[in-house]
Structure 1
C-alpha cells in the first residue's frame, strides 16, 4: 500500500512538472478563466434585474447606507456621499429647468479634474443623459471633433476653460449648441453661467421615471482614449461605454 501511494505521488509530481514545462502559465490562465466566468455571472444577474440596476443605483444605495461617509478628499476638503447626492440633485434640476434636458440627450463635459466633475456626471445620470468626457487639454479643431462625435447639443465647461470655449464659440453657435459655464456670471454672449442656477436649485431627490428606459444597452459615457488626437482618420479609437 505504501509503495502504491509513493508511486501515485511520484506520478502526480511528474505530471505537475510536465504541466509546468508545457504550460508555464496554466495557473494564471485558470485564474483568469474563473474571474471571467464570475464577471459573466454578475453581468447576467444585473441584466436580469428589473428595473435595471446601474452604477448610479449602486451609488444611491451607498448614499442610503452611509450618507455621512467621506466619498472624496480633494485639496484639503472632504465630500460625503450625502454631499455628492444632494449636489448632483441640484445640478440635475438646474439643467432640467435651464437646458430642458430629457432622457437620452447627450451632454459634453469640458471640466477640470475637480469634485464638480463627479456630481455633474451623477446629476446627468439621474436625468438619463449619456455624457461625453472631453479632455480639458484639447483645443480648436480637436475639441470640435471630439464634441461632434457624441452628438451632444449641450456643453458644460469649467470657468478656467472659458478661453478655449471662446475659440470655438462661433462654430458651436452655428450648430445650435447651448454652452454653459461653471460660473456665477459671464459677459460673453452665447455662454450662459450655470453655477448660480445650481445654487438656487432644490436638492430633493429626482424620480426614477426620468431614466425609466435606461437599460444595459443604453449609452452611459463617451470616453476618449488618452491617445486620441481629435482628428478623423487616426489610429486611436474613441470608446463608447455601455451601462454595465
Structure 2
C-alpha cells in the first residue's frame, strides 16, 4: 500500500499532484523564446546569447540535418559532446525533427562508441572537436555516415585555456562537416508536428548483465521531471542557474538545462569543473540555483579563496548521485545559511523520483517521493511489501519512469514487478523509510560502483583487466573515497612469472589507456588467492564486505 506519511512535510504552497503538459520539450524552448526573445538564455565564457539567437540556431541546425542528411522521425542521433552551447542547440535541433537524442559520456572510448552506434542503430553524430578522433574510426568503417564537428571556442569570448585547448584541430583528415558550415546554410526544416508520446531521448545506463542499456524516454516522461523540478525548486524567469553537471547525464540535463529553459531563465554554462571559476561566476552573474554532485561541492568549499567571493546570491543548492557527508552539509550551512537539498533518481527515471523538501531537508537522505510517485519497499526474495524502518528493495511507479530498455525485452521483464495493478520499476537499491516518510539508502542490490556519480560495472572492468598478460584473476569492488564517494578497487592475482616484476602502479597506468577515466581502478591490491565457492566462483561479496 502506498505510504503517504511524507505529505505532512510536503513543500508549502505546492499541490501534491502534477498535471504533466502534453506539449513537447521542443515547444518548451519555442514558448520561452516567444515570451522572452531578447532575454539572455545562456552565458558562456564571456559571451551571452538571447533566446531568440538560441532558437534561430536550433532551427538552422535542424534544417541542415533534415535537408542534407535526410533525418526523419525516430532516427537515433549520437550526441557526443561536453557542456557547451552546441550541446543544447543540438539537443533541441534533434527533437525539432522528432528524432531521438542519444547522449553519450564524453569520456567514452572508440570501442564504447562502437557499441552504442551498433546497439542503437545510429548513422549520424554531432561531436565536440576534441572528441572527433574517437568517432573518426567509425566513420571510416561506415558505421557512421555523417558527423558534424563543433568547436566550443566559437561561442566564447574569453581566453580560457581549457576552451582554447580543446578547440585545436584534430590530427589527420577531417571527414566531417564543421558546425558553422552546417548552420550557415540556414536551411528550413519542415513544419513541426511533435507529440508528447514521441520518443525524445535514449540515455544509457549499465544493467545486470554489465552491458549498457538504452533507457527509452518520451517527451512526456521527461516533461514530468522537467516541470516537477521547475515547481519543486521554485524556478522563475529571473532564476540564474549555474550549469556544471555534465549534460549527457540525466540530472544535469533536467535540472541545469531543461527546467531552466522551461522557466525562461538564464544558464551559466561551464564546460569543465573549475572551483575558482565557479565562485567568480556566481559572484559575477549572481547565480541563484546550483544543482551539483557532492564531490563538486566538497571541492568548492575547500577552496581557500572562496572567502574572497560574494556568493550570497545563491538561493538553492542541491543535487544527487552520491550522499553528501554530514560535515560538508553543516559547513555549507554555516557559510551560506543554505541546506543542501539531496535527491534520488536513476537514468530509468530521467533524474529524480525522490527529493528533500527545500524547507525541511535531511542530510544523507534520498528525500520523499516526488509528484505522483508511488514508492514502496519490498523484500528482495519474496516480493512482500515492507513497512517503516524495514530494509528492502525500492520500487517506483510514476510519470517519469521510462517506457523500457531499448530492444531488451528480457531485461524489461526482469526490471519490473506488478503490484495492485500497477507496474513498478525495480531500482535494485536497498533502502529504508523512516516514520516521516523520508527514504534512506542502505546498500546496492546490484553490484554497481558509484564513482562521483558515474556508474561503473565491476564485471566490465574485470573483463578488461584480464587482457593484461600479468593478470591471472581479477575481482573489482567499490572502496570508500573521501572525494569521489566510492572508487574502483581491483584485487588481482598475478601469473607466477610476473610476480615481483609487475607493480600495482604498472597495472593502474595500463588501465588508464584501456577504459574511460572514471572506470579504471584507483586502488590495486595483489593477492595470492581469493575466497571462492566449492565450484571455484569468486566470492566478491566477501572482498566487498572487507572494504
The residue that corresponds to 1:193 in the other structure is 177
Q: Does residue 177 of the first structure (1) align with residue 145 of the second (2)?
A: yes
Per-residue CA deviation, residues 138-166 of structure 1 (Å, 9 max, x unaligned), is 00221211222322211121111122123
Answer whether contact 2:90 2:126 (CA < 8 A) is retained. no
Q: Does residue 31 of the first structure (1) align with residue 14 of the second (2)?
A: no
Q: CA deviation at 1:87?
A: 0.9
Q: CA deviation at 1:198?
A: 2.5
Q: CA deviation at 1:181?
A: 2.2
Q: Does residue 75 of the first structure (1) align with residue 60 of the second (2)?
A: no
- Higher CA-based Rg: 1
- May I ask how many residue pairs the two structures share in their alignment? 200
Q: Which has the higher helix share?
A: 1
Q: 2:128 aligns with which of 158, 162, 166?
A: 158
State how far apart, in whole Å, the 2-side matches of 1:162 and 1:91 are: 19
TM-score of the aligned structures, taking structure 2 as reference length? 0.33
State how far apart, in whole Å, the 2-side matches of 1:64 and 1:180 are: 28
The residue that corresponds to 2:72 in the other structure is 102
Answer whether contact 2:78 2:124 (CA < 8 A) is retained. yes
State how far apart, in whole Å, the 2-side matches of 1:82 and 1:75 are: 19
State how far apart, in whole Å, the 2-side matches of 1:176 and 1:222 are: 18
Q: CA deviation at 1:82?
A: 0.8
TM-score of the aligned structures, taking structure 1 as reference length? 0.69
Per-residue CA deviation, residues 163-207 of structure 1 (Å, 9 max, x unaligned), is 212344444x1x363233236998626x22232432422276x55
Per-residue CA deviation, residues 5-37 of structure 1 (Å, 9 max, x unaligned), is xxxxxxxxxxxxxxxxxx9x82446739x9795
User: Using CA pairs below 8 Å that are at least 6 residues apart, which structure has the higher relative contact order?
Assistant: 1
Q: Does residue 64 of the first structure (1) align with residue 3 of the second (2)?
A: no
Q: CA deviation at 1:134?
A: 1.2
The residue that corresponds to 2:100 in the other structure is 130
Please tell me the root mean square deviation across aligned C-alpha atoms, in Å: 3.2
The residue that corresponds to 1:141 in the other structure is 111
> Any gaps of 5 or more consecutive residues in structure 1?
1-22, 48-52
Cα 1:67–1:159 change in 2 (3 A) is same
Per-residue CA deviation, residues 81-113 of structure 1 (Å, 9 max, x unaligned), is 111101111111222222111222221111121
Q: Does residue 242 of the first structure (1) align with residue 218 of the second (2)?
A: yes
State how far apart, in whole Å, the 2-side matches of 1:141 and 1:239 are: 20
> Any gaps of 5 or more consecutive residues in structure 2?
155-168, 221-547
The residue that corresponds to 2:85 in the other structure is 115
Q: Does residue 218 of the first structure (1) align with residue 194 of the second (2)?
A: no
Secondary structure at the residue paired with 1:38? Answer: coil
State how far apart, in whole Å, the 1-side matches of 2:185 and 2:211 are: 43
